[in-house]
Amino acid sequence: MKTTLLFIGLFLSSFAYSTEPFFHTVKAKSGDGIYSLLRRYHLDTHNCNLDRFLELNKLSINDNLHSGKKYKLPIKIYKYNGTSIRTTIGIDNFKQALRIKDYNEKILANNLRKTNFLDSNILWVPYHELNCVDEASGKIESSVTSKPKETVKEGKYLSIELFGEKHKIVEIKDDKLKGEVYYIVSGHGGPDPGAMCTKCTSNLCEDEYAYDVSLRLAREIISHGGIAHVIIQDKNDGIRDEPYLECDIDERCFGAKLPLNKVKRLHQRASAINDLYYNHKKHGVKKQVAIMIHVDSNSEELKQDVFFYHHRTSKSSKKIATSLHKTFKEKYNHFQANRGYKGFVRARDLYMLNNTLPTSVYVELANIRNPSNQKRLIMNSNRDALAKWLYEGLAEAKI
């Protein structure tokens, strides 16, 4: 009787689904970007998935997704034949079949499909399993903020020219962040200085102070065994200790000139991050985090504590933002017990949160127009403290 029922079930299913595989379709959620949607369905580890997604939906990499609109994913839907994954899709590789099985189970565990493929006879096959060619492998540097040109003492010190003459020697204190990758993006740069204070003793430019804190954070991460990619670089500046940092326009994105157009500028840095992400992912790196560092501009009267934005639907993004917030609150309670801390954590739709593959967070360090907040920026000891506290919050975050 069971055999008869199974036969009937398989017979009926052949009418419900075409024998030709088709691509799975989903509705975009509020806050979804191309990369975040692919990441949700575990399709972010192969460039060909991104290329196929753009092709299927007739999109360009700069396009936004619209909430509620349906998009085809690079996932092929097959009618499972009830025998094996290999005979269903016509492959011989047993390990490949196991990966596809694991993928279906992961999708089910994440509540992205309602039934097991064995029960529903619906098999999901990610596009990259059948259509992508493996990229050439290569060893990842222990730190690629700037390739270390000199090892002062093997295993204990690195010399990184990007940090400038005074700060280029980095002591490796421990391996707390071993195997973790961080992408540090200082806001604006090049033709766009970002927020400014033009009424100050000397002009203050957001990009210069965000960059200085970014370098200090990268140095801290490397000193604890992590990999730090500084996405926006100014090779003439390095870490600076003077209060007033000269505004200039020679920042680059990995050597490339920064475009005048804002969207192109954001796309350039997001693409740089995503290319690196794919390479690290291919080599088994599990924790990859991007942190965007900015300085806000508001009314002169408004005192602002450091605050954080996270991706609207990413739990890991929220965890990191919350960890950073918790660290800053603890530091203020310790060093300025009666002051209070009014920084916050919020979700926000921002290009760099929606279009980067690593778990991403966004930081606003201060209000550049407020005299009290300016001390947080112009005192090099405060910039150093900001970087150290950011490191601690990142290190403590469990994702």
Q: 316 with 345, same domain?
A: yes
Assigned domain for 8 exists? yes
Closest CA to 349 of 44, 67, 60: 67
Q: 172 with 219, same domain?
A: yes
Assigned domain for 350 exists? yes
Read off the amino acid at residue 18.
S
Q: 22 with 103, same domain?
A: yes
Q: 115 with 169, same domain?
A: no
User: Tell me, what's the pLDDT at 99?
Assistant: 93
Q: 124 with 180, same domain?
A: no
| Gap between the Cα atoms of 42 and 22, Å rounded | 18
Confidence class for position 219, pLDDT limits 50, 70, 90: very high
| Gap between the Cα atoms of 159 and 336, Å rounded | 35
**Contact by Cβ (8 Å): 213, 382:** no
Assigned domain for 263 exists? yes
Domain boundaries, position 65? 2-131
Assigned domain for 253 exists? yes
Q: 114 with 228, same domain?
A: no
Assigned domain for 144 exists? no
Read off the amino acid at residue 313.
T
Q: 120 with 193, same domain?
A: no
Confidence class for position 152, pLDDT limits 50, 70, 90: very low
User: Tell me, what's the pLDDT at 13?
Assistant: 31
| Gap between the Cα atoms of 294 and 210, Å rounded | 6
How many domains, the chain?
A: 2
pLDDT digits (tens, 9 = 90+) for 59-113: 987 788 999 999 999 999 999 999 999 999 998 888 899 999 999 999 999 999 9
Strands 252-253 and 204-205: unpaired
Q: 191 with 277, same domain?
A: yes
Would the pLDDT of 150 be above 80?
no
Assigned domain for 299 exists? yes
Q: 118 with 159, same domain?
A: no
